[in-house]
Amino acid sequence: MKKILINVLLICGLAVLVSCEKDFDEINKNPYATTITNVGPLFNNVVNSLRLGWDEQFYVHNEVLYKQTQLAALTSEAWSNLSIGTEDIWSNYYIALAHIRDIEKRLDEMENPGHPDSLNNVRGMAKILLAYKTFRVTDLFGDMPFFGAGRGYEGVEYLHPKYDSQEDIYLFLLDELKWAAENISLETVSTTGGTFYSIAYYDNLFDGNLLMWIKFANSLRLRHAMRIAEKEPELAATIITEIIENNLPVIEPGEDVVMLPSKQSWLRESTNWSFREHKHLRMGSTIWDQMSENDSTNGTGIFDPRAFLFFETNNDNQWVAYPQVPNANTPPSGGIPYGLHRDLNYTIKGTDCIYSPLNYYLIRDENDIPEIILTGAEYYFIKSEAYFRGIGLPQDPDLGSAEYFEAIITSMEFWDNLKNNSSIWLYTDPNYELTNPYDIANKIFFVEEKLELLYAQRWVDGFRQPWEAFCLARRTKQTPREGGPLDYFRLPYPPSESEHNTINWSAQVAKMGGDLSTVKVWWME
């Protein structure tokens, strides 16, 4: 038995050695001979980090951003744990940032003598993801650790990164996006004769479609150029002119950048959870006034068909908006409109559900309703504003009107497609119809205050991107609003910063005059 045991151990040891040698052979292969290396999984981790966080949606979107943008009404402020949501955003970002730094380091270490540009496609893709994620966080918080952040593996001097100004971050990222758009190549062979290194197998965002990466880069440049138009008008105008007048590729209708669960093999469970557990969001009077000509509870006053996709009737099958600025006599909201029981008992929303909730299917579908990053409608909204205001383009109200018209059509078709592509969206209000969206766009457009209406419609289109609507409201100060002006401008830093990056956090807070929501971010006037 002892001899048999020894023989078995020898055989197993040989198998392990053979396996190890085989594995090392795979590891030691020239990375340019295959599209599968350790860069790919890291890149895929960063793409996965584009998904919205559970606590981010619950404590930041549902408790703060919907209320501040007035895209919906917060009927009760029952949760005071904003820091849970900010920690979610912060940790998601800095984990992804470390992955991006690691990708950049690995690319720097890859040797391909004579063909240095063969890495440009992957470098460009990483820069675009870095830009999108960083813009999103700095737009919420303002100044933040960036240039020295995500580098803890490089040395202890990076464990407590200082805060960088939002201005410096913005200017750097805009340059990075320009580099990416100009250096990502659609050719198979680089200008120096090398084969481009590819991680298409790991690209769960665009499936290796490099033209889409270029379009995404240019569209992000447009988005953030317009965002800084009040603070850096010359730079904003230069970028807008360059992209639009040169007809550079941008995200077009039907090419929307989204995180789609059914395509990427994950479940969007977080959204329904955040609404089901939070319970307190309803259709508010601000957005209702942008979608209906009157307060008729049967919905006959609705002229914007997106109302039927964003919201639904109360438990008595009536359209009722919660007052955006309630008073002491406002009846309280209740009910269970977001409960999973509605999968089988759709009409039961709870007798206390006296106000219109958000559409159940929009937040319930875990497979076919995406998380939105950037849509084709945004390009038209930006062009329209550029023409109306003369930013980078000759001021031309007629061309502004034409681009606005296209933006509305594209937006309505986008939301209609979301409904049609959902496998669980079983009920739509019988008054919903999108047979001729051009007629709807015409009805919306013929008013005098065209720029104000443009902002209103871009705000409506951002219904499931409350962070983008928040940026629009802060920048323009002209989005639909009831009550006093917006005075909430940024999120407070998460508590972990004061605990683990104390010296730099203290210096930053002192510089701002306090870690307050009333402190304006750099690009605000």
Average pLDDT, the chain: 91
Q: How confident is the model at residue 113 (pLDDT cuts 50, 70, 90)?
A: low
Higher pLDDT, 36 or 452: 452
Rounded distance between C-alpha atoms, residue 57 and residue 270, angstroms: 8
At 488 the pLDDT is 98
Mean pLDDT, to the nearest integer, of 231-253?
A: 98
Write down all domains in the chain, each with its CATH number in brackets.
Answer: 38-273+365-512 (1.25.40.390)
At 22 the pLDDT is 34
CA-based nearest residue to 301, from 290, 310, 314, 309: 290
The CA-CA-CA angle for residues 195, 196, 198, to 5°, reads 125
Least confident span in 3-12, 50-59, 256-265, 449-458: 3-12
Q: Tell me the three state secondary structure of residue 93.
A: helix
At 439 the pLDDT is 75
Q: How confident is the model at residue 6 (pLDDT cuts 50, 70, 90)?
A: very low
Report whether pLDDT(26) > 70: no
Rounded distance between C-alpha atoms, residue 108 and residue 13, angstroms: 37
Residues composing the chain: 525
Contact 134, 89 (CB under 8 A): no
